[in-house]
Structure 1
Amino acid sequence: MPHGVTRTTLPVMTHLPPPAEELRLLDAELRQLESRRTQLLARRAWLVATLQQARQQPQQAWAQARTQPPPVAWSRPETAAPSVQNVLLVLGGVLLTLAAAVFTLVSWGHMGITGRALVLGAVTLAALAGPALLLKRGLRSTAESVAGLGLALTVLDAYALHEAALAGTDGTGYAAAAAAVLAGLWWAYGPLPATAALRLPLPCAVAAAQFPLLLWALSADAGPYVLSAALLATAGLDTVVALRVTAASVRICAVVGAYGTGGWGALGAGWLSVTADGPGAAVRAGALLLLAAAIALGAAWRVSGPDVRHALGLAAASGLLTVGALGGVARFGAPSEWAVPVHLAFGVALLAGLRAGRLLPDAVRHGVAWASAVVQALALLWALPVVALVVMGPAGRLGRVWGGAPSDARAAVAVETPWPSDAAAAPVVLLAVAAVLALAVPAERWRPRARLGALGLLWAAALLLPAILAVPHLAGMSVLGAMTAAALYLGRTTTSGARITALVLALVTAVDLTLVSLASRTATLVVLSVLTALPAAASWRASLAPFTAPAALVYATALASATGAAADWPPARTALLVLVVPVAAALLAPRLAASRATVPVEAVGAAAGLLAVVLAVTDPPLLALVLALCGVITAGTALRPDRRALGCAATALFVLAAWVRLAAWEVGTPEAYTLPVTVPALLVGALRRRRDPQASSWTAYGPGLAATLLPSLVAAWGDAQWTRPLLLGTAALLVTLLGARHHLQAPLVLGGSVLALVALHELAPYVVQVTGALPRWAPPALAGLLLLALGATYEQRIRDVRRVRAVLGRMN
């Protein structure tokens, strides 16, 4: 039993102390409690007295309360002791290493290089032996620092050996051998029983092992193939170390080295494969790429369990390297334009890894599948410019419409861009990827989307065939028309995604067909007629109508414009033909009241009407007619209960038509333009007042009256004749009397104001004459009398004004 432990503290013993011993213990505890109670009571009495004094003399009490010195606040250290220790040790080791380097490289006294090498070797042995003693004393950090110094000294020893005994050897070759020897020595030094606790030697050995093979290849003046092989071999050794060693620091160094040397080696091999000028060079580069792929695949196989993401990336990289290696060799056995399909074939072959079942880990299989997907995506990117040329190339004919039919379908699309020489392989790429999407996607969730993608790729391949085969121009347009019809037929499906895909394909094909048909006048009219009929026929299905009905109207508008141009009509005359489309839209919209196609149809009809107005701008009489017809169409649409708001637009169109007609007749009288606005506005105001007697007269009649009275007033003030002022004054007097008769504020104020201004304009010359005939003292005297009169009757005038304001306020 240890000293100082009583028998009662052992958990296996239940013996109680004797009564006398227990009584002595209880008395001691009671004495301690009594002493503590006395201290607490004394402290309480002091606190009570202090608080009583604080109420009477706060500052004195505060000074008494601070008689005891405050406790000392110890500052918290900003740096922990182990951190300070590590910094000091690292700094000391670095300084010692620098000193040893200077000693070895420069000089020390009168010692030659041999003497310095001997001294340095002795110091190195001491530095390598020191960590063992330090570890026995528990100074691990110091041992790591001294071990780092010893490892650095071994490098200096190697340099000293070269300068002392092997100065005639090749420096690069010696560096390769020295790096290999040092890596081996450090690797052997780390696991020794006395130094097994050190963490530094093994990572340093792995770092030194990155250089021997590369330096050896450089010393031998090897070509790029050997350099790439040296880098890949180093990466393979790093991979083995990373997979077999459990120490985290060693694995990190090995992984970094493997990625670094393997990446540079793979890039070099890939460049050699791309720039190979013959089968032999391609085979050598392919062998290097296969070596890199094997290293990546082996690593992915081993790490697939604990780290799935690394395994996935390594497996994908292995698949890509394999495709590059095999494709680089096989491209010399096929024409140059088939290089991409050859690589794609090997990329598709990678999918056989998915059929390997349990032979490959899941991470490796998925990585290979990703590699195949990347290859297919790159192949599609290669084929995309050819598809874009076929779809957008005919747009070059917009600047030379009806310039003549091309010789074949290829000339029809390659208008301003030369036809690529490798375009023949593009359909093969598209079909191959489409087959993969349709057949090789195992997931049920992605299979419908993959099949839609396959449908799009099949459509793209069919779109390329007429241009690639250089079929006649008419045959190429026939193929595009058939594809448009087929896409619209596929839009009948009930699946939303498939329907949208089919409609998009139909739209793109129709646009391409339209652009291709611009080469010939007859082809344009026939194509636009067909493209008007096809969407119109498909619009009988409610699911397609929101898309196909507006499309049919758009092509009908284009057909009307093309027909007018083909008949050599001026644009203003063609506008009358374009108005057929708004009429059709206005007649069709009521029958689609319960469909989502109503608003799109009406929007296209409105756009066609706007196009007609733009076309007729150059001919004012026809523009007036077009505006009037648009007003009729809009008024007919406004008869529908849900389109009552269009009545205002119809009125505006009628007014604009009247104005344009007046301008065409060169009518300069403003009343001719304002009265067509005033009369309908006053009628609308009267109808509103009848429905809502509480409506303000300013809202009901103000806009209509102001539309005529104000422009006529401006014209009257600048008119030297008496006819317009007389008629305007008469009209203003009539409006004022009507406002007074019906107690309407707007007619009374507007009519009275205009009447007063007209009277002022007419009486102004006579006032000027009278003012010129009076003596000079008369105007001031008259002004003084006027002021006196106004002052004398000021109170009465205020009463009269208040009475008039009250009367006006009671009016509507």
Structure 2
Amino acid sequence: MALADLRTREAQLTARRNELVAALRAAPTGTDQAEDYSGVVSSPAPSLGRPRDLSVKAVQNLLLALGGLLLVVSAIVFTAVSWGHLGIAGRAAILLGLTGLVLAAPIPLRRRGLAATAETLAMLGLALLLLDGYAARQAGLTGLDAIRPQPYTAGLIGVVAVAFAAYGRLARLRSPIPVAVGLVQLPLAVLAFDKGAFWLVAALLATACADAAAWLAGRRRMAAVCFGCTWSLGVAIGLAESLETYEARSAWPLSGALIVAVVAGLVIAVRATRPWSVALTAFSAIALIAALTVPTRVVLESPWAVTPAPLAGLAVTMLAVLASRTASAVKAAPLRAAVVEAAVTATGTAAIATALLSTPVAVPVINALAGPLDWGGVWSGIGTTGVREALGAQSVAGPPDLVVLATLALACAVLALFVVRHGRTDGAASRARLHMLIVVAPAFASMTVAVCPVALGMRTRRR
């Protein structure tokens, strides 16, 4: 009886399978199910919208990373808090032995094909090396406790970075050298952290120059990433400091540091790919404007303090145009194209910066242009005196405002000629920009002429 029931059940399942196979063969191509060579129906393909599970290797690497992180945390707690009855010297001795074992373990692991485990233990060894340095100073080993914390920290990071890079090359591991390059970014910044903004800018830019040299020599991605971080941070701090610098003794060094940043940024920009080349060129143009503005602003009196920034913007615009004209002398076509593109970016950035830096003269200029509305009797009686009060009657246009307006007119004219010369007028947007420049340049020139009587004190008396 039981055997007969099983045979009946087998026949039913076989018939059901044949029905499914026939239906699958009759289905159009591209369905989610398919039949393999044995006639067994394969499982449906996963939907594109469903999240995919992590692979076995990804899960293993994640667990290794979490385990290494937990070991680092436990080592820090052990060094700083736990086992107090051993004393810092005992803890340092235990850490030193553990560091040796951890750094020796990746070599046989790599030979056995356990690369991820070897890399994780190498990172744990790096953390233990830094903890060893901390414990050595706390224990007063060879008089290390006499060194001030800041120089000692900078020196420790530098020594550990060099040692870790050498260890990675000897052990033939991938992660130690990039991590060591990242650690090398810190010593100079740590040394200059409490020395003032200029020294911090100088430290960051010096590190960025070293990263640029390393990238040009070996084209390593980690060097490029570190250059971008240190250079951007140094330029940002330098620009912020340039807004608050009004003394010659600090203005000239800061200007020199920003010029170094400009040179390094442009050297990398002409060899980098988009969009990094565009970003480097734009920030380099802004940094050069700040570098030219700071030393000239501190030597001018208050009414003329608004003129250095627009004039510096005009100077950078003309330098960019000159660079685009001389780029044809470069023999290598890729480098010539990169120089031209950098010059175009710098020209546009400098022109925009010139317009933004000229906004402080807006109120005096509008006040001067609106003056006839108050002085003429035709407009009296309709409340036009409120216009001057809203704009600030005490803000009177002067010769500095004329200089800024003339600078804007000249910058627009130079930019229009640059657009025409490079043939960038194809397309509706390019033609619209050119027409706008052709209109704006005479408008600023007309405003300069209109403001002249007020700025030069040639007002006529009211009848």
TM-score range, shorter chain: 0.7 to 0.9
Change over 3 Å in CA distance of 1:228–1:380 after alignment to 2? closer
Distance 2:42 2:101 in 1: 48
Match of 2:26 in 1: none
Distance 1:416 1:152 in 2: 63
Per the TM alignment, residue 338 of structure 1 is displaced from its structure 2 partner at its CA by 2.5
Distance 2:243 2:66 in 1: 49
Match of 1:462 in 2: 446
Change over 3 Å in CA distance of 1:426–1:223 after alignment to 2? closer
Match of 1:485 in 2: none
Aligned partner (choices 133, 146, 164) of residue 168 of structure 1: 146
Distance 1:122 1:336 in 2: 64
* 1:201 is aligned to 2:185: no
* 1:385 is aligned to 2:362: yes
Distance 2:247 2:192 in 1: 24
Aligned partner (choices 424, 432, 450) of residue 410 of structure 2: 432
Aligned partner (choices 324, 330, 339) of residue 354 of structure 1: 324
Match of 1:338 in 2: 307
Match of 1:214 in 2: 189
Change over 3 Å in CA distance of 1:362–1:323 after alignment to 2? farther
Per the TM alignment, residue 179 of structure 1 is displaced from its structure 2 partner at its CA by 0.5
**Which structure is higher in RCO with an 8 Å CA cutoff and minimum separation 6?**
2
SS at match of 2:275: helix
Match of 1:736 in 2: none
Match of 2:261 in 1: 292
SS at match of 2:192: helix
SS at match of 2:271: helix
Distance 1:215 1:294 in 2: 24
SS at match of 2:323: helix
Contact kept, 8 Å, 1:397 with 1:415, in 2: the verdict is no
Match of 1:100 in 2: 75
Change over 3 Å in CA distance of 1:227–1:149 after alignment to 2? same
Per the TM alignment, residue 285 of structure 1 is displaced from its structure 2 partner at its CA by 1.0
Change over 3 Å in CA distance of 1:343–1:79 after alignment to 2? closer
Contact kept, 8 Å, 2:289 with 2:309, in 1: the verdict is no
Aligned partner (choices 219, 222, 227) of residue 200 of structure 2: 227
Distance 1:215 1:341 in 2: 36
SS at match of 1:134: helix
Aligned partner (choices 114, 117, 120) of residue 139 of structure 1: 114
SS at match of 1:352: helix
Distance 1:78 1:271 in 2: 47
Q: Over residues 649-708 of structure 1, what are the superposed CA-to-partner deviations in whole Å (9 max), with x where a residue is unaligned?
A: xxxxxxxxxxxxxxxxxxxxxxxxxxxxxxxxxxxxxxxxxxxxxxxxxxxxxxxxxxxx
SS at match of 1:280: helix
* 1:185 is aligned to 2:155: no
SS at match of 1:361: helix
Aligned partner (choices 212, 227, 233) of residue 258 of structure 1: 227
Distance 2:53 2:201 in 1: 50
Per the TM alignment, residue 145 of structure 1 is displaced from its structure 2 partner at its CA by 1.5
Contact kept, 8 Å, 1:341 with 1:428, in 2: the verdict is no
Q: Over residues 588-625 of structure 1, what are the superposed CA-to-partner deviations in whole Å (9 max), with x where a residue is unaligned?
A: xxxxxxxxxxxxxxxxxxxxxxxxxxxxxxxxxxxxxx
SS at match of 1:204: helix
Match of 2:291 in 1: 325
Per the TM alignment, residue 302 of structure 1 is displaced from its structure 2 partner at its CA by 3.0
Q: For 2:259, give the aligned amino acid.
A: L
Match of 2:437 in 1: 453
Per the TM alignment, residue 174 of structure 1 is displaced from its structure 2 partner at its CA by 0.8
Distance 1:269 1:109 in 2: 46
Q: Over residues 222-253 of structure 1, what are the superposed CA-to-partner deviations in whole Å (9 max), with x where a residue is unaligned?
A: 23221211111122223333444455xxx24x
Distance 1:395 1:258 in 2: 56
Q: Over residues 695-737 of structure 1, what are the superposed CA-to-partner deviations in whole Å (9 max), with x where a residue is unaligned?
A: xxxxxxxxxxxxxxxxxxxxxxxxxxxxxxxxxxxxxxxxxxx
Distance 1:358 1:372 in 2: 19
Any unmatched runs of 5+ in structure 2?
A: 1-9, 20-39, 47-51
Per the TM alignment, residue 138 of structure 1 is displaced from its structure 2 partner at its CA by 0.7
Q: Over residues 717-774 of structure 1, what are the superposed CA-to-partner deviations in whole Å (9 max), with x where a residue is unaligned?
A: xxxxxxxxxxxxxxxxxxxxxxxxxxxxxxxxxxxxxxxxxxxxxxxxxxxxxxxxxx
Distance 1:257 1:399 in 2: 66
Distance 1:73 1:445 in 2: 57
Per the TM alignment, residue 280 of structure 1 is displaced from its structure 2 partner at its CA by 3.3
Contact kept, 8 Å, 1:187 with 1:205, in 2: the verdict is yes
Q: Over residues 284-310 of structure 1, what are the superposed CA-to-partner deviations in whole Å (9 max), with x where a residue is unaligned?
A: 11101011112212212332xxx1332
Distance 2:181 2:351 in 1: 39
Contact kept, 8 Å, 2:413 with 2:438, in 1: the verdict is yes
Distance 2:219 2:431 in 1: 46
Per the TM alignment, residue 321 of structure 1 is displaced from its structure 2 partner at its CA by 1.7
Distance 1:308 1:71 in 2: 49
Match of 1:310 in 2: 276
SS at match of 2:86: coil
Q: Over residues 548-577 of structure 1, what are the superposed CA-to-partner deviations in whole Å (9 max), with x where a residue is unaligned?
A: xxxxxxxxxxxxxxxxxxxxxxxxxxxxxx
Report matched runs for 1:316-715 at 5 Å: 316-332=282-298, 335-350=304-319, 351-356=321-326, 357-359=328-330, 361-381=336-356, 382=358, 385=362, 388-389=366-367, 401-402=379-380, 417=391, 418=393, 419-421=396-398, 422-441=400-419, 442-446=421-425, 450=434, 453-470=437-454, 471=458
Distance 1:186 1:272 in 2: 36
Contact kept, 8 Å, 1:290 with 1:322, in 2: the verdict is yes
Distance 2:43 2:290 in 1: 70
Contact kept, 8 Å, 1:390 with 1:463, in 2: the verdict is no
TM-score scaled by structure 1? 0.44
Change over 3 Å in CA distance of 1:147–1:385 after alignment to 2? same
Per the TM alignment, residue 180 of structure 1 is displaced from its structure 2 partner at its CA by 0.5
Distance 1:98 1:344 in 2: 51
Q: For 1:185, give the aligned amino acid.
A: A
Change over 3 Å in CA distance of 1:337–1:141 after alignment to 2? closer
Contact kept, 8 Å, 1:273 with 1:281, in 2: the verdict is no
Per the TM alignment, residue 171 of structure 1 is displaced from its structure 2 partner at its CA by 1.2
* 1:238 is aligned to 2:207: no
Q: Over residues 779-806 of structure 1, what are the superposed CA-to-partner deviations in whole Å (9 max), with x where a residue is unaligned?
A: xxxxxxxxxxxxxxxxxxxxxxxxxxxx
Contact kept, 8 Å, 1:396 with 1:415, in 2: the verdict is no
Distance 1:72 1:245 in 2: 50
Aligned partner (choices 246, 270, 285) of residue 239 of structure 2: 270
Match of 2:24 in 1: none
* 1:121 is aligned to 2:105: no
Per the TM alignment, residue 183 of structure 1 is displaced from its structure 2 partner at its CA by 0.9
Per the TM alignment, residue 91 of structure 1 is displaced from its structure 2 partner at its CA by 2.2
Q: Over residues 18-49 of structure 1, what are the superposed CA-to-partner deviations in whole Å (9 max), with x where a residue is unaligned?
A: xxxxxxxxxxxxxxxxxxxxxxxx989x959x
Change over 3 Å in CA distance of 1:323–1:105 after alignment to 2? same
Contact kept, 8 Å, 1:390 with 1:414, in 2: the verdict is no
Work out the number of aligned pairs and report it: 397
Any unmatched runs of 5+ in structure 1?
A: 1-41, 52-69, 475-518, 521-812
Higher CA-based Rg: 1
Per the TM alignment, residue 182 of structure 1 is displaced from its structure 2 partner at its CA by 0.8
SS at match of 2:65: helix
Distance 2:59 2:97 in 1: 30
Contact kept, 8 Å, 2:347 with 2:415, in 1: the verdict is no
Q: For 2:268, give the aligned amino acid.
A: A
Change over 3 Å in CA distance of 1:83–1:452 after alignment to 2? closer
Match of 2:31 in 1: none
Per the TM alignment, residue 139 of structure 1 is displaced from its structure 2 partner at its CA by 0.8
Match of 1:281 in 2: 250
